[in-house]
Structure 1
């Protein structure tokens, strides 16, 4: 998809806000290594720029979801440790070695097959333990012990880490979190030794729980967003880093009784000023946003009619000049539209909202 530089719609990312969130996290978790999650194009913020900004303030490494995401970072001059959190096919192992990317192991079958492919350069491995997420990882102490012993005895494998992932760390009721934590603790106690990295903390665990690890996988909170939505208050202030802005490309006076948008789902109840904004569901600003609002000159303006693939229409309180800024997420004068408000309107989470913004929208950094 081509990036649309020649239209006024853009995502503006405040790298200083990201760095301040990280400084707060580094102070909150002194003595632990911080790996920041930049998967999914840095949660929509731009993986390369975010990674470089994060490394400037002293984080240890980076987490991605796929080998291709890791390769993008390497090819942009980033030489910090990278952990791929997704299972890779054994055919991809040579790339992991070439680009010095640590990868997870979750089954003994994968481990044996991988060993058959290796030569001399060690493959860095993190043992994944499924303590109750049901996603990836070994389920039993016996499997983990067998995997650890195998890696220790394989000359071309390095046991770099062991980890699990909590499914309810962002909820106030912590009974299931405690259950998962205890399972992981029991597995660690049965191992003859521990690897360099022991990690269980995502953003939510880091903010609200004491854990067993010496490394944090810091994700959504780095971008200034509360992992729990509005359920719990963060341990320290989080500064949102992303704004979504555009401009009015046409403003017109529409008579009473006229339909706006596909399906005529909105009809003017009187003479109305209608503005058109060049953003739509192909950009990840979803069709369901009809009825929500944007900010123009510090005033909330309703989105009227269905959001189109590339454009949407808003009802203005008065005639406004074309080229006037439109804020879809962010601040305008004394008003603000937050990602959480957009997520609530769509009945989803802010993670999904930011990850849905397409590559067509250019990212600008300040």
Structure 2
């Protein structure tokens, strides 16, 4: 799920949504129903959209009409919805595991909601999710683990859970935590907008690019004498003759007073903002006279100097996402992909691309495209590196873990096209001397063989599923390989992870889960093959 709320963190909601969907995102997330309707007006009716915030029950008919999924936030909300809705609508149940905002706080509340849902066919619960409060705090992960364990407890009381989309991982959980609590979907917002701060960069196995730069120009340059005041309140006074440049951007554009402690770039040099930032303009102290029209960079690169949003956020003592999200719609956006301008958009006083009023706001799509397209269908680590991550040296524990890898009949499910497929039967054989696994099976795509490795220490398997060309669905079966990487989940008593596919026709990945089928060890796959 690509999160495009708050104008996609200031980047442009519709444009980022289009880029994310074209590159492989299967869901879009927004904060309000108004945002959802704005996206729906520009994108296909088939793209699922989830409103993560509150939607008043009287507007649920609108959400249903435009195929928008909403969030169930409280017992009172579901009771009111059950009372007034006249047509079916989809919603995801929000579980409050510790953020203490929206959501159901107790298991008794969830049971009450499940009972209400069972009595009203208009209430269609299609998903369950929670949200982490401290997923980027890698120094103390105890609260993160507490929330995750609580989420599993709530899931235990959800009936027909396999028919619902389960999700909890935000950008921080997705990128930085080895637990990888992906379930069926992850929600990426901040991760789509560029690299994390320096302290977290080493935790991700690939490099994210900066997606964003903000520029304006000098529209007036004048030399002032000593002891002259500048701007409202006369907060800045010159101490000698000084060149001052006026820049047509202010707090009405989202460049607020707290940002004036940050420099801007002129002619590749850092220069300070002086005086109070007004609604529509600000002033900078220049080392020399520059011609009107000289570029001023607030975020981005000039020559050997670079200013990134993290620097501004740190000096303003606020998150980077607040810096991005504060930028107003009257700043025109220009979108670049593969080195070419693909779309420009302005608003408000800016007047669009041909009447920029001195503004230039550039968003480079390549990072979004890179994140989905270049990495789509490709695991961040090889099966060998994935499997051989040792988590325990305890011999007794390893003996117990051997029981997790039993030869015989297994069953698996994979998530694709917004649905779970399976369970499918397969036969696996584990070679305890070489830690290798082989097998075969069949699913909707066709017949396949399995080759891979496993480890009782890491409790992981890295498998390659090799489809037999000419079997099953000729539109889906290209005789291709599927990489599968799964890890034992002690909470659900099954192996969980992801599948990855890269072919000329399709690049993608999704959730995967499998378990030893204790009740079907005498079944043979030959009868299944005969039907293919």
- TM-score in terms of structure 1 length: 0.86
What residue is the counterpart of 2:69 in the other structure? 102
The 10-residue stretch of structure 1 (263-272 or 54-63) with the greater mean CA deviation from structure 2: 263-272
Structure 2's unaligned 5+ residue stretches are 337-532
3-state SS of 1:177 partner: helix
Q: Give the CA deviation at 1:198.
A: 0.4
| Structure 1 runs, 4 residues or longer, greater than 6 Å off | none
> RCO (CA 8 Å, sep 6+): is it higher in 1 or 2?
1
**1:8-27 alignment, distance < 5 Å:** none
Which has more strand, going by share of residues? 2
- Residues 10-56 of structure 1 deviation map (CA, whole Å, 9 limit, x = unaligned): xxxxxxxxxxxxxxxxxxxxxxxxx1110111111110000000011
Q: Give the CA deviation at 1:62.
A: 0.2
- TM-score in terms of structure 2 length: 0.60
What residue is the counterpart of 1:196 in the other structure? 164
For residues 111 and 219 of structure 1, what CA distance do their matches in structure 2 show?
Answer: 27
Contact 2:51 2:70 in 1 (8 A): yes
**1:175-194 alignment, distance < 5 Å:** 175-194=142-161
3-state SS of 2:114 partner: helix
The answer to whether residue 100 in structure 2 is matched with residue 134 in structure 1 is: yes
3-state SS of 2:150 partner: helix
**1:248-263 alignment, distance < 5 Å:** 248-263=218-233
What residue is the counterpart of 2:275 in the other structure? 305
Contact 2:51 2:69 in 1 (8 A): yes
Q: Give the CA deviation at 1:230.
A: 4.4
Q: Give the CA deviation at 1:81.
A: 0.3
For residues 317 and 263 of structure 1, what CA distance do their matches in structure 2 show?
Answer: 24
Contact 2:261 2:316 in 1 (8 A): no
The answer to whether residue 142 in structure 2 is matched with residue 148 in structure 1 is: no
- Residues 331-350 of structure 1 deviation map (CA, whole Å, 9 limit, x = unaligned): 11221111111111111111
For residues 155 and 48 of structure 2, what CA distance do their matches in structure 1 show?
Answer: 24
For residues 288 and 11 of structure 2, what CA distance do their matches in structure 1 show?
Answer: 34
**1:340-355 alignment, distance < 5 Å:** 340-355=310-325
What residue is the counterpart of 1:77 in the other structure? 43
3-state SS of 2:200 partner: coil
What residue is the counterpart of 2:238 in the other structure? 268
For residues 57 and 245 of structure 2, what CA distance do their matches in structure 1 show?
Answer: 53
RMSD of aligned residue pairs (Cα, Å): 1.5
3-state SS of 2:97 partner: coil
What residue is the counterpart of 2:54 in the other structure? 87
Contact 1:125 1:158 in 2 (8 A): yes
Contact 1:52 1:78 in 2 (8 A): no
Q: Give the CA deviation at 1:201.
A: 0.6
For residues 284 and 44 of structure 2, what CA distance do their matches in structure 1 show?
Answer: 42
Q: Give the CA deviation at 1:325.
A: 0.7
Contact 1:289 1:307 in 2 (8 A): no
Contact 1:152 1:159 in 2 (8 A): no
For residues 171 and 77 of structure 1, what CA distance do their matches in structure 2 show?
Answer: 36
For residues 212 and 191 of structure 1, what CA distance do their matches in structure 2 show?
Answer: 18
Q: Give the CA deviation at 1:355.
A: 1.0
For residues 86 and 291 of structure 1, what CA distance do their matches in structure 2 show?
Answer: 34
Aligned residue pairs total 329
3-state SS of 1:178 partner: helix
For residues 274 and 22 of structure 2, what CA distance do their matches in structure 1 show?
Answer: 44
Rate the CA distance shift 1:325–1:357 in 2: closer, same or farther, 3 A: same
For residues 182 and 269 of structure 2, what CA distance do their matches in structure 1 show?
Answer: 48
What residue is the counterpart of 1:47 in the other structure? 13
- Residues 236-265 of structure 1 deviation map (CA, whole Å, 9 limit, x = unaligned): 322221211101101111122222222222
- Residues 250-302 of structure 1 deviation map (CA, whole Å, 9 limit, x = unaligned): 11111222222222222222211111100011111012333421101111111
